[in-house]
Amino acid sequence: MKKWGFLIIFFLCLGLAAVKIVPFFQDKPNIESFEDDNVDSLVDSGDIQKVKVTEKQIHQGNLLLVNHDHAVDPENIKSDIVNLASHKELIKGFSLFDNKTYLSEEIARKFSDMLLDAKEEREFNFFITSGFRDFDEQNELYQEMGSNRALPAGHSEHNLGLSLDVGTTQTIMEKAPEGKWIKKNAWEYGFVVRYPEDKTDITGIQNEPWHIRYVGLPHSAIMEEKGFVLEEYLDYLKEKKKVSAMVEGENYTISYYPFSEGMTINIPKNHEYEISGDNVNGVIVTVYE
C-alpha cells in the first residue's frame, strides 16, 4: 500500500474527521502594537540606506500566501530541504511517522527547539506526520484524496517547505496535551496554527489543528494577539502600510509596499531587516531595532 494509504488509515483510526474542536483558553502574547499609517518608526530615523526590490522578491520569504489562488513559485521553494531520517541531529523532541519525511533544515531546527522546550514542561509525544512534499507527491495525494481533502500540486503550503503536520501518539491533536501546547505556545517560536476551525471561510481549508506554518517573529505574535490567519494579517498590513510593535521587549517596524518597477525602499543603516514577498503583488519589510 502506498504511503498515503497508510496516512489515511492512520488518521481515520485517530478519528480526526469526526471530532469537533475543543475550545482552548490561552494567554495573549506580550505585545504592544501601534497601528497608524503615519506612525513614527525606525525607518524614519538615523542614516538611511536604499535597498532595491526586484519582482522576484514578491515570491520569496516566510510570509508567502499559498492557497487555491496563489501557487508556489518552484524557483523559491526552500533550498535546504533534507530527509530528516538521514539527519538524526535534527530529530530532537519528536519522532517521524516514516523515514521519508522531508523538511527544511532551518525549519526542522526551529521546530526541534520548540519541542525541546515543551518537553521541559512535561513528557510529550510529538511526531511529524508530513513535511515538505514535491509537486509530484502533492499531485499523487490530490488524485488519491480528492479536492475536498487535498490541494492541487503547487497550491499546498507543504510544497513550499515552511509547513508541517504534527501528530501525537496519545489521541487526536485537538484533545491531546501536545495539541493544546502547540496552540498556546507556537507563536513564541515563529509558528502559527494555519487552519483553525473558526477561519475556514477565510482560508478555504477545513479545521487542521495539526498543520503548523512558520512565519517568524514578530508576525506570529501579532497574528496571535489579533486572532489573524495569514490572509487576514496580510490584508491588515496592506491597509495600515506600517505597524510598529514591541514583542517580548524587542522593537520591530513592519512595512508593506506594493511592488513597482525600479522600486527602492529606505531602511536605517546598522539595523537588521528581512524582506518577504506576499506571493501576490507586494513585499513586507521587517526592521529590527
Nearest partner of 157 among 183, 108, 195, judged by Cα:
195
- Say how many Å lie between the first and final Cα of the chain, rounded: 53
User: If you write DSSP's letter for every residue of 112-156 in order, what string do you get?
Assistant: HHHHHHHHHHS---EEEEE-B--HHHHHHHHHHH-TTT---TTSS
- Select which of 35, 140, 197, 208 is catalytic: 208
Q: What is the 3-state secondary structure (H, E, C) of 150-217?
A: CCCCCCCHHHCCCEEEEEECCCCCCCCHHHHHHHHHHHHHCEEEEECHHHHHHHCCCCEEEEEEECCC
Buried b (16+ CB within 10 A) or exposed e, 147-173: eeebbbbbbbbbbbbbbbbbbbeeebb
Radius of gyration of the chain (CA): 19
Task: Name 79's Cβ contacts closer than 8 Å, sequence gap at least 6.
Answer: none
Whether the CA torsion 244, 246, 252, 257 is positive or negative: it is negative
Nearest partner of 210 among 112, 127, 125, judged by Cα:
127
User: Is the preceding peptide bond at 196 cis, omega within 30 degrees of 0?
Assistant: no
Check if 208 is active-site.
yes
Catalytically active residues are 208
